[in-house]
């Protein structure tokens, strides 16, 4: 979160008050916020908000099922609502005063908002066995840990990749220009993500292609830089067949042939290459680099089933489950003990793109986070996320 501590400190202080008032659970710690000291018996139910592909129960692929074993082991029946965007997830977590859902697999652009608003509870990571095996960067990352207080446990991370149909796109692309440059031969067959955070992808492209704008971080944009990114997105619009917000949408368009190249998650590649009949797609990180996400399981501060949620976080952090999710989704697990399992399952060559346990890989991605006005230069001249959303409406609705 590179040097904008003042506002976050203020926000998280406010969150602490809220969380301390709202937090249930066991006995108090030493002065810090109250967290659960031991996991009690499960409540029989668990309601989750998750990214699609994060809570597989075998219905997509019988071999990928880490929900049913959890249910059998803990007696917690899992109900999942998929969120299409981080914004939708934040909204879902606030439904019913925060009582509708017990937990969420939040990306870094949602975690800050959930913590600042007091929507999520502090977590006692000592109760999560797998946590000790996490990549050091992801044990207490700034997007889920404020002033030493944990608000969740890391899950998967990965890049927003460029996916293309190997039969239709040749030569293989190496730059995002295939969906940004108006001379792209694949005009009208591209896909772009339909959430405001996608502005960061445009900014990242401009960072390389228009260095005179002086973009250093795609989430810290001044007004002229944001305007340039919006102009790029407007100019991109004719290239785009459809903006996708659900991964299924993109899978459908790649299957029908309406789209041949687009911004995607590893999940889409995983489904498209294994469905019947498969679509020959590949996913790459282009030369300009990529934005990405590091997701965290967080617990609602008004969770109705906190013990089941703790049991879930514990389950989701184990090396075996982390390896299973990673192999299904194409994401990289936080728990480094799962790397050996992935290598054993897939072989060294197929496991290499996961960069499992590679700290430099996660550091090279521009992970999703909430843009704030204060971007650390003391001038408060960056543009915050509410303006990003308004500007993005201009792109999609214009």
Partner 1 sequence: MVYLAALAILLVSAFWRLDPLSFSVVHRLGLTNFQILWRESVYRKIAVRTVGISAGVTITDVLLAFPLAYYAARLAGSRLKAAILLSVTLPLWSSYLVRIYAWRLILDRQGLVNWTLHKLHLASVDISFTNWAIWIAFTYLWLPFVFFPIYASLERIPGSFLEASSDMGAKWPMTLRRVILPLALPGIVAGSIFSFSLTLGDYITPTTVGNTQFIGNVVYNNVLGVASNQPFGAAFALVPVAVMAIYLLAARRVGAFEAL
Summarize as ranges the residues that interact with partner 1 (CB under 8 A): 84-85, 87-88, 90-91, 113, 116-117, 188, 195-196, 240-243, 253, 256-258, 384, 386, 389-390, 393-394, 396-398
Nearest approach in angstroms of CB 132 to partner 1 is: 35
Q: Which of 132, 139, 161 is nearest to 293 (CA)?
A: 161
**Is 77 or 242 the residue whose CB approaches partner 1 more closely?**
242
Identity of the residue, 211 or 398, whose beta carbon is nearer to partner 1 in the bound complex: 398
Buried b (16+ CB within 10 A) or exposed e, 228-261: bbbebbeebeebbbbbbbebebbbebbbeeebbb
Min separation Cβ 164 and partner 1, Å: 16
For partner 1, the closer CB: 118 or 141: 118
CB of 91 to partner 1, least distance (A): 5
CB of 388 to partner 1, least distance (A): 10
Q: What's the token pair of residue 155?
A: 């899950």
Answer yes or no: are the C-beta atoms of 236 and 251 closer than 8 Å: no
Helix (H, G, I), strand (E, B) or coil at 2: coil
Nearer Cβ to partner 1, position 132 or 166? 166
Q: Is the peptide bond before 331 cis (omega within 30 degrees of 0)?
A: no
CB nearer partner 1, residue 118 or residue 130: 118
Rounded least distance, CB 390 to partner 1, Å: 7
* Helix ranges restricted to H, 257-372: 266-274, 306-316, 319-329, 339-346, 348-351, 359-364
Shortest distance in whole angstroms from residue 191 CB to partner 1: 10
DSSP 211: G
Contact by Cβ (8 Å): 315, 321: yes
Q: 234: helix, coil or strand?
A: helix
Please say which residue, 196 or 365, places its beta carbon nearer to partner 1. Answer: 196
Q: Is 49 helix (H, G, I), strand (E, B) or coil?
A: strand
């Amino acid at each position: 979160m590179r040097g904008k501590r003042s506002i976050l400190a203020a926000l998280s202080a406010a969150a602490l008050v809220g969380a301390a008032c709202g937090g249930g659970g066991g006995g108090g710690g030493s002065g810090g916020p109250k967290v659960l000291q031991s996991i009690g018996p499960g409540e029989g139910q668990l309601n989750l908000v998750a990214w699609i592909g994060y809570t597989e129960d075998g219905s997509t692929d019988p071999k990928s099922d880490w929900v049913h074993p959890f249910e059998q082991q803990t007696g917690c029946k899992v109900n999942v609502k998929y969120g299409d965007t981080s914004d939708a997830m934040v909204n879902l977590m606030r439904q019913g005063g925060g009582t509708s859902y017990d937990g969420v697999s939040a990306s870094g652009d949602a975690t800050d908002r959930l913590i600042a608003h007091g929507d999520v509870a502090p977590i006692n990571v000592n109760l999560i066995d797998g946590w000790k095996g996490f990549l050091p960067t992801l044990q207490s990352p700034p997007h889920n840990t404020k002033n030493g207080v944990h608000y969740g446990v890391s899950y998967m991370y990965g890049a927003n990749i460029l996916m293309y149909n190997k039969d239709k796109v040749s030569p293989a692309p190496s730059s995002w220009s295939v969906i940004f440059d108006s001379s792209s031969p694949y005009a009208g067959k591209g896909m772009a993500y339909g959430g405001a955070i996608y502005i960061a992808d445009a900014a990242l492209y401009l960072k390389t292609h228009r260095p005179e704008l002086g973009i250093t971080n795609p989430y810290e944009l001044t007004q002229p830089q944001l305007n340039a990114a919006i102009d790029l997105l407007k100019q991109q619009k004719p290239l785009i067949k459809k903006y996708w917000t659900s991964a299924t949408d993109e899978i459908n368009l790649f299957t029908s042939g309406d789209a041949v190249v687009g911004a995607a998650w590893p999940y889409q590649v995983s489904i498209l290459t294994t469905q019947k009949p498969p679509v020959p797609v590949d996913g790459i990180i282009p030369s300009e680099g990529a934005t990405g996400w590091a997701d965290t399981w967080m617990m609602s501060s008004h969770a109705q089933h906190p013990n089941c949620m703790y049991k879930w976080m514990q389950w989701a952090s184990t090396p075996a489950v982390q390896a299973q999710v990673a192999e299904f989704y194409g994401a990289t697990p936080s728990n480094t003990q799962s790397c050996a399992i992935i290598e054993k399952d897939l072989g060294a060559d197929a496991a290499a793109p996961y960069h499992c346990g590679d700290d430099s890989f996660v550091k090279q991605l521009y992970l999703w986070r909430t843009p704030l006005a204060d971007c650390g230069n003391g001038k408060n001249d960056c543009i915050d996320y509410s303006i990003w959303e308004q500007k993005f409406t201009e792109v999609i609705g214009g």
